[in-house]
Amino acid sequence: MMLWRASGLLLLGAGVLYAQSADPPQNNAGYVPVLSGGMGYVHNVNGGVTSLEPQIDPILLLPLGSHFLIESRVDFTGYYQRQNLTSGPYTGTVYQTLEFAQLDWLASTPVMATVGMYLLPFGMYNERLDPIWIRNLQDPPITAAIGNGSSGAGDGIMLRGVPYQNSSFSIQYSSYFSALSTISKIQASRTAGGDTSIFFGNHRLEIGTSYQRYLQGRQTNNVASYLSWQPPRTPLDVKFEYDRSYNGQGYWLENALWLRQSPFLQNIFQRFQFVTRMQQFDPFHGGGNGLPSVGTNRFDAGLNYYFKDDLRLISSYGRQFSSKGNENVWNAGITYRFLLPLWPGRNK
Amino acid sequence: MIHRRPAILAGSLVACGLAVAGGLKLYASPSSQQQNTSAQSQPAPKSGNSEKSGKSGHAGKTAKTGEQIFQQNCSRCHQAPMSIPPRITGTVIMHMRVRARLTGEEQQLLLKYLAP
């Protein structure tokens, strides 16, 4: 254990020294290691069963100069329920999951390379919207299980970048290959795939599509198409995604509206965000792989209150409809994003 | 089997949300519209002297471009941070360059804007 700690400190120190020797001259940005991430607590009631879910997801960012970055995120989520679901004392456990541990090489604009364990860039949710402090609604969409294999991560190599850009739009891509890994903590499926999107910056509109092929088992394909739009003059965030796999297909549409432009009580309402999401799912071949076995529809509405950009109260109500029975889902809690330097570097 | 009733209900509520958004925009006062020229508009992040550079000459032009990139790209996924300490700005922007697939030029403009 001591050896691991010493190695970690040595790596940290080497990174800091290397980083500080490679300061770009045009700005005063520093490159010290960072501990960031999100934490929070969610009180969930699903079909009358209460779950208590504290969570912390620290991310370590360790730059090696201004072109290499080691980054890793670990998820610690506690999951506590009553012993008999609706009665008895609360019991549970804390689950630890290594979500990614990767080395990035920021080689050039068209090509950035990542090796290690990385989040699969399939659709919008897994890579971009999953952190607890980013989610507008705490429960992920039903189809978030599509394209994310057993762990949501791939073990291998990924290339990404911007092959073309002009003043109106940019075209972005990610492509990857993941090897099969059955090792605990770094499980991954043998897959290959990619994601590409076109982003109209002035209109804040992004349209993209993802493709993935499983190179094991049935060798099935997964596809996703998505749209993300933040109208420049309206405090609204619209996201839509359609996913299809061997096990089913579905879509979700989410709208997050800030009440900043309320004609009354603006001081109060400007901190509120009203969120709605509707989704529909149809199973194929009996569903499975994290997907329901029957057709399922769900509607959610939530209200979030932001104390600051990094601290908020969350609340939502959802109603799920399926032939197995309808149920209500309630969530309430608090989330916080932290961002800390890990080294006493100078503030220029 | 798709259940049409909840779909209609959900669609109606989404439409209501959009209508409320439009309504709020129509009723918003001119001053509030000026303050909210963007969907996720946030005050400039408190980092170094970025606010100063945003008001003057060539530096202002650079800062504006950096600010545009900041506003356009952060809000694609999350709330833009209000402050980033200068000594970690380089690290954070490296992380975001990979995640958001930013160009090298965008990275440099962001660094100038956030840690001038």
Query: What does the pLDDT look like over A197-235, one tens digit per residue?
Result: 999 999 999 999 999 999 998 899 999 999 999 998 899
B57 and B96, same domain (yes or no): yes
A346 to chain B, closest Cα gap in Å: 6
Q: How far apart are CA A241 and CA A140, in angstroms?
A: 12
Buried b (16+ CB within 10 A) or exposed e, A106-143: beebeebbbebbbbbbbbbbbbbbbbbbebbbbbbbbb
Please count the residue pairs, one from chain A and one from chain B, whose beta carbons lie less than 8 angstroms apart.
231
Q: What is the Cα–Cα distance from A102 to A343, expressed in whole angstroms?
A: 21
Q: Considering the domain boundaries, does residue A35 fall inside one?
A: yes
pLDDT in tens, chain A (348 residues): 444 454 454 444 444 444 444 444 578 889 999 999 999 999 999 999 999 999 999 999 999 998 999 999 999 999 999 999 999 999 999 999 999 999 999 999 999 999 999 999 999 999 999 999 999 999 999 999 999 877 899 999 999 999 999 989 999 999 999 999 999 899 999 999 999 999 999 999 999 999 999 999 889 999 999 999 999 889 999 999 999 999 999 999 999 999 988 888 888 899 999 999 999 999 999 999 999 999 999 999 999 999 999 999 999 999 999 999 999 999 999 999 999 999 876 554
- Give contacts of B81 with chain A, Cβ < 8 Å: 309-310, 337, 339
CATH number for the domain spanning A202: value is 2.40.160.10
Split into its structural domains, chain A has a count of 1
This prediction has a pTM of 0.82
Residue of chain B with shortest Cα separation from A235: B39
Report yes or no on A226 lying in a domain.
yes
Nearest by CB to residue A63, choosing from B17, B90, B102, is B90
Mutation target among B16, B50, B91 for the A interface, most CBs of A within 10 A: B91
CA distance A73 to A102: 9
ipTM of predicted assembly, 2 dp = 0.89
Q: Which domain holds residue A187?
A: 2-20+31-341
CA distance to partner chain B, nearest, from residue A339 (Å): 8
Please tell me whether residues B55 and B31 are part of one structural domain: no
Q: What is the predicted pLDDT for the residue at A5? A: 53
Amino acid symbol at A97: T
Please indicate, yes or no, if residue B45 is contained in any of the structural domains: no
Beta bridge partners of A178: A156, A191
Q: What is the mean pLDDT of residues B18-27?
A: 43
Q: Is there a domain that residue A91 lies in?
A: yes
Query: Which of B37, B38, B87 comes nearest A341 by C-beta?
Result: B87
Residue in B closest to A337 by C-alpha: B81
Q: What is the pLDDT of residues A295-333, one digit of tens each?
A: 999 999 999 999 999 999 999 999 999 999 999 999 999
Check residue A345 and give its pLDDT.
66
Does one domain contain both B109 and B59? yes
Asked if residue B63 and residue B20 are part of one domain, the reply reads: no
